[in-house]
Every structure is written in C-alpha cells, then in structure tokens.
Amino acid sequence: MKTDIAKLLQRKKKQIFENWVAAQLADSNLRDELMSNEELRSQSDELLDVLLKTINNDNLSDVYSQAFEPVREILAGISVFRAKNGYTPTETGLYVFGLKEAFLQAIQGEMKSDLPGMIEVTFRMNKLMDHLAIDTFDTFIKGREEVILRQTDEITEISTPVIRVWDGILALPIIGTLDSSRTQVVMENLLQEIVVSGSTIAILDISGVPAVDSLVAQHLIKTVAATRLMGAECIISGIRPEIAQTVVHLGIDLSSIVTKATLASALRHAFTMLKLEVKRVQREKSI
Amino acid sequence: MDRIPILRMGKFLLVTIQIDLYDRLATNLESDLVNMVNKTGARGVLIDISALSIVDSFMGRILGNIGTMSKIMDAEAVVVGMQPAVAITLIELGLELKGVHTALNVEKGMELLHEKISFDEDTLDEADYENNSE
Amino acid sequence: MTIEKEQDVVPFRNRVKEHAVKIGMSILNQTKLITAASELVRNMLKYAGGGVTTIEVLSKGRENGIRVVFQDKGPGIKDIKQAMQDGFSTGKSLGVGLPGAKRLVSEFDIKSIPGEGTTVTIIKWKNG
C-alpha cells in the first residue's frame, strides 16, 4: 500500500511545526533583535500551512508546477524580507533546511514499518525541499541586488548637487570617483541647471575626486566641451598637487580648460569674467 | 520650395530654426545665409536652434560651415539655445563645433555679437588713429 | 520602413522617437538614439542609395530597449576596422558617423560583405 504523504504530513503538522520552530529558536545564532519570536512563529506557520495544502503524492517532485506558485510566492516574500533586514545567506538557507529536517523526522517516525516506502518518500521530499531552498536563495540575492540598486540610485542623486553661488555662476562639487555613468548624470544636471538659471559660468570643483586618470580627464574635458556648446564657460577648480602631478605624468592635455587650485580662486576668476568686483567696505573713521 | 526665413535686424541676421531640417533645407539655409551676408553687409549672424531636438553630424557640419563662411566674409556667427541633451550627444558623437560661437539664449547671443563687433571697431579705430598720426 | 531619398530621414527619425517615447526613455537617451539612427540612415543613403530599416521594442529582464536594424544592398565596406576609426571617411563627411553612432548606443553590430551589402544593428537600453 502506498502511503499518502500529504495526509501523513497533515496529521503530523503540529509536531513538524514545533520541531522546526524549536530548532530555529534553539539555534545559538538566532537573532531575535531582527524579528520577534512571535513574528517568526507566524511567518513559519503561514509557510508550512500553504506548503502542506499544496503537497500531494503526484506533484511532490515538481516544484515548478502551477500548484507550487503560492508556496514559492510566500518563500520569496520571506526571502526578500530577510535580505532587506540584514539576515545572512546562511541563516536564510538554514531556515528552509530546518523545515526539511522536521519533515524527514516526521516521515521517519511514521513510516518505520514500510522501509522502501520511507526511502522513496524521503528521497522525493529531499529533492522538493532542496529546490525550494535554491529558489529561496535566488530571491534572497535578488532582494540584496535591489537594495544595492536603490543605494546606487540614491548615491548618484545626492552626490551631484548643483549650487548657484552667484547670479550667473554655478558651482558643482564632485565627490568620489568619476566614471562614465556618473559623468552623464553630472553633465545632465549641470546643463539643465545652466538653462534653468541662465548662468554663463560653471565651476566644477574636483577636490573630492580621489584620483584623476586619463579616463576621468577625458570625462572632464567632455563636460567642459558640452558646457561650451551651450554657450557657457566652465572652470575646473580643486586641482590638488597630486592631481597636477599625475595629469602631467600621464601626458593629459588640459590646456584648453581654465583650471584653478581652489574654488575661491575660481570664483574670483568668474567675477572677473562677469566684470564684477568684490570690495571691502571702507568705513569712514569718525573722530 | 520650402525655405527657412532669415530676418534682418540692423547689422545682424537672425534665423530661428523651428522644424527638423531635411538635408536640402539645411544646405539651402547655408547658401541663403552666405548670400544674405554678402548682400546686406551684415556683421553678425544669430542662429537659434532651441527647437531642434536632433543635431547629427550633417547638421553639425552645416552649422560649422556657416560659422567659418561668415568669418571669411567678416561676420561672426553665434548658435544659441542648444538643448542640453543635444550638447551631450554632439560631444559623444565627437563634434565640438569649433569655429562657431555659442550662447545660452537669443539675448545673450545678441550681447556676444555686440561685444565682438564693438571690439573689432575699437581696434579699427585705433588703427585709423595710428595711421592718421603718422 | 524603406528609405530611398533624403526626405525619408525626418519621418524615420520621428518613428524612432515614437518608439523611444513609448517605453519611457529619458530625453538624453532618446536624443542619443535618434542621432545615432540618423547618422546610420544617412550613411545608408549616401553609400548604398537607400535601404530598409526595422524598429522594434526589446525587453531583457526589467530593462526595455529599442533595436533598429539598417539593411542595404550597397557596395559594402571592405575594411570595417578602418571604417570604425574616428576621422576616417571615403566620402566628404567628417568621418564621425560610424564610430560616433557606436558611442551613442548600448550595443552596436556591423556586418558587411563587399559587393552585397551592409547590415548595421543598434540597441539602446532605456537606462543604458
């Protein structure tokens, strides 16, 4: 007689659940600061519930069938939740493997009399849970990737502010490495702001750029050229001694660009170009 | 035949390109402008391209040609109002439009033309003065 | 879309633009794609006297993109490597067409058999 796995597991559900949760709670690495025991229990309960409703003798080996869609959905949810909340991949992996352990315990306990049947069921159960674990891993990594993507977006957003320092003068401090995608964002923001504010001078301050190699220099030259096409002038400031050294050693020609050592001297240059003068107010001495 | 209108404003010629140009129209504009410079003795040419969403190498070459041709005929050409996306694309494409002056908008372009021309006249005056003093 | 005369260039660019707008491409990337397409279609007219273009929307994962294929039955290109160099031109142009177009798009592929024709395929991803 063939044992109905679904019925067997359904019957032992409570025990499986308790074993599983107990194993999780007993784990010395359990991080209850990330999730309360209550939450862990309800999350695990939901997963087990749906999984047991899905399983039957026929679909046991086919995780990618339509029937398993809800199970994989819940697992994906748990996985993404864990990825975003700082669980390690090991912890997430062990979570699913813990459930497998509990299942196998139950099967071994119940099917002592039917050894060949037990082996078969164990084998299929193993396979099912392994697939689910791999699936979980996939979504876990996707969850992490999403976090990284979001952070990258945020960094590019915040790292390229365009500041109006004076009527007609924009300043753009660049912090961090300047790669081609970053240059795109910088250029776009700068040119857009030039149009909006009607500025004729832009100062690119590169004191926050760790190193200038020929590629970065090329990006800078491109930005300057694009600014000129718009009809504005571009000054590069914040050239540190090391940068001047590497630029010369690499044989990069920056002679077509106005460069200044500090933002202050760049601003002074900009004032001259706009025929502006900054003066100290002479107070009349009263005797 | 379609033509881009060229407006005369004192010493300057003014062109606003409002539609995407096909090649014939662009080459026509080039020759019309040069003829106009010759006929009117204009000292400056201002081309507003703020409505152009695309400038490819062909159009870039036309703009460059207008700049160089004007220069030979003793006039300055200013291209104004280039869209940011167009500027970035031109740079990526490898075109820097050397030989044409650029300005942010028509107003700034006019200022630039006045500046260039008054500078010319100033140096001319000085030269005249030197000649007279001899 | 068949390209036979220079008046076809502007409508063709508009078609490319429609596709790019449909997938929500940024203005900058739209401009780059259309400019590259414009360069290539001009090449086709100039060297092969015209040809056929196809525009389609692609998707890879959650990235969407536009693919434009340019097919002509012109004389072909003998030395592709040379043609892809900046400043090289057999005609009287600036010689930025092919290499410039390549810089403007995400993926660029050119196949040419001398005497039979040239096929250029470009892809621009929405965020690429």
CATH code assigned to A163-273:
3.30.750.24
Cα B125 vs. chain centroid, distance in angstroms?
25
Question: Does residue A210 surpass a pLDDT of 80?
Answer: yes
Mean pLDDT of B101-107: 91
Domain extents in chain A: 5-155, 163-273
Between the alpha carbon of residue B16 and those of residues B13, B29, B51, C127, the distances in Å are 10, 11, 8, 32
Q: Do B87 and A195 touch (CB under 8 A)?
A: no
Q: Do B88 and C28 touch (CB under 8 A)?
A: yes
C72 and C48 in contact (C-beta within 8 Å)?
A: yes
Q: Residue written as tokens 């694009």?
A: A226
Helices (H) and strands (E) in chain B, counts: 4, 5
Which residue in B20, B22, B57 is closest to C100 by CB distance? B57
Q: Do A194 and B105 touch (CB under 8 A)?
A: no
Question: Does residue A29 surpass a pLDDT of 70?
Answer: no
Q: Which residues of A65-81 are buried (b: 16+ CB within 10 A; e: fewer)?
A: eeebeebbebbbebbbb
Strands A233-237 and A258-259: parallel
- pLDDT over 70 percentage in chain A: 91
Q: Residue written as tokens 């992996």?
A: A93
Closest residue in chain B to residue A185, using alpha carbons only? B88
pLDDT at B130: 53
Measured in angstroms, the CA of A216 and the nearest CA of chain B are apart by 15
Structure tokens that stand for C25 in this block:
């491409």
Question: Does residue A2 surpass a pLDDT of 60?
Answer: no
CATH level 3 topology of A5-155: Globin-like (1.10.490)
Question: Does residue B133 surpass a pLDDT of 60?
Answer: no
- What is the DSSP-derived secondary structure letter of residue A13? H
With beta carbons under 8 A apart, name residues in chain A contacting B87: 191, 226-227, 229-230
Domains belonging to chain C, first-starting first, are 2-125 (3.30.565.10)
Question: Does residue A203 surpass a pLDDT of 90?
Answer: yes
Measured in angstroms, the CA of C26 and the nearest CA of chain B are apart by 10
Chain mean pLDDT for chain A: 83
Q: Chain B contact for C100, CB < 8 A? A: yes
Q: Do B56 and C27 touch (CB under 8 A)?
A: no
Which residue in B22, B58, B92 is closest to C103 by CB distance? B92
C123/C115 Cα distance (integer angstroms): 26
- For residue A128, the one-letter residue type is L
pLDDT at C69: 93
Between the alpha carbon of residue B86 and those of residues A77, A216, B121, C28, C109, the distances in Å are 44, 22, 34, 8, 24
CA atoms within 13 A on the CB side of A114: 13
A259/A234 Cα distance (integer angstroms): 9
Structure tokens that stand for A222 in this block:
């491109």
With beta carbons under 8 A apart, name residues in chain C contacting B56: 35, 38-39, 42
Q: Do A194 and B88 touch (CB under 8 A)?
A: no
Question: Does residue A27 surpass a pLDDT of 80?
Answer: no
pLDDT at A236: 93
Question: Does residue C41 surpass a pLDDT of 70?
Answer: yes
A191/A205 Cα distance (integer angstroms): 16
> At A1, is the pLDDT very low, low, confident or very high (cuts 50, 70, 90)?
very low
Q: Residue written as tokens 């977006």?
A: A153
Structure tokens that stand for A202 in this block:
């832009």
CA atoms within 13 A on the CB side of C29: 20
Domains belonging to chain B, first-starting first, are 6-133 (3.30.750.24)
> At A271, is the pLDDT very low, low, confident or very high (cuts 50, 70, 90)?
very high
B104 and A194 in contact (C-beta within 8 Å)?
A: yes
More confident residue, A227 or A84: A227
Q: What is the secondary structure of B52-114 as a DSSP string?
A: -S---HHHHHHHHHHHHHHHHTT-EEEEE---HHHHHHHHHHT---TT-EEESSHHHHHHHHH
A260/A254 Cα distance (integer angstroms): 12
pLDDT digits over C13-38, tens only? 989 999 999 888 888 899 999 999 99
Closest residue in chain B to residue C27, using alpha carbons only? B85
Q: Do B23 and C9 touch (CB under 8 A)?
A: yes
pLDDT at C93: 56
Contact residues, A window 190-249, toward B, CB-based 8 Å cutoff: 191-192, 194-195, 198-200, 222, 225-232
Measured in angstroms, the CA of B80 and the nearest CA of chain A are apart by 7
Q: Which of A183, A186, A198, A192 is nearest to A160 (CA)?
A: A186
Q: Do A195 and B91 touch (CB under 8 A)?
A: no
For an interface test with C, which of B2, B25, B89 has the most C Cβ atoms less than 10 Å from its Cβ? B89
Task: Say whether A33 sits in a helix, a strand or coil.
Answer: coil
Mean pLDDT of A95-121: 82
A239/A259 Cα distance (integer angstroms): 8
Which residue in A187, A200, A231 is closest to B80 by CB distance? A231
Q: Do A192 and B84 touch (CB under 8 A)?
A: yes
pLDDT at A264: 93
pLDDT digits over C89-126, tens only? 665 555 667 888 888 999 999 888 888 888 999 999 88
Q: What is the secondary structure of A16-59 as a DSSP string?
A: HHHHHHHHHHH-TT--TTTS-HHHHHHHHHHHHHHHHHH--TTT
Between the alpha carbon of residue A278 and those of residues A78, A235, A262, A274, A281, the distances in Å are 62, 19, 17, 12, 9
Mean pLDDT of A106-128: 82
- For residue B132, the one-letter residue type is N
A212/C117 Cα distance (integer angstroms): 44
pLDDT at C48: 83
> At B47, is the pLDDT very low, low, confident or very high (cuts 50, 70, 90)?
very high
Give the range among A131-135, A169-173, B106-110, C12-16 with minimum mean pLDDT: A131-135
Q: Chain B contact for C19, CB < 8 A? A: no
> At B134, is the pLDDT very low, low, confident or very high (cuts 50, 70, 90)?
very low
Question: Does residue B80 surpass a pLDDT of 90?
Answer: yes
Mean pLDDT of A75-94: 81
Q: Chain B contact for A188, CB < 8 A? A: yes
A136 and A75 in contact (C-beta within 8 Å)?
A: yes
Strands C63-72 and C2-3: unpaired
pLDDT at A272: 92
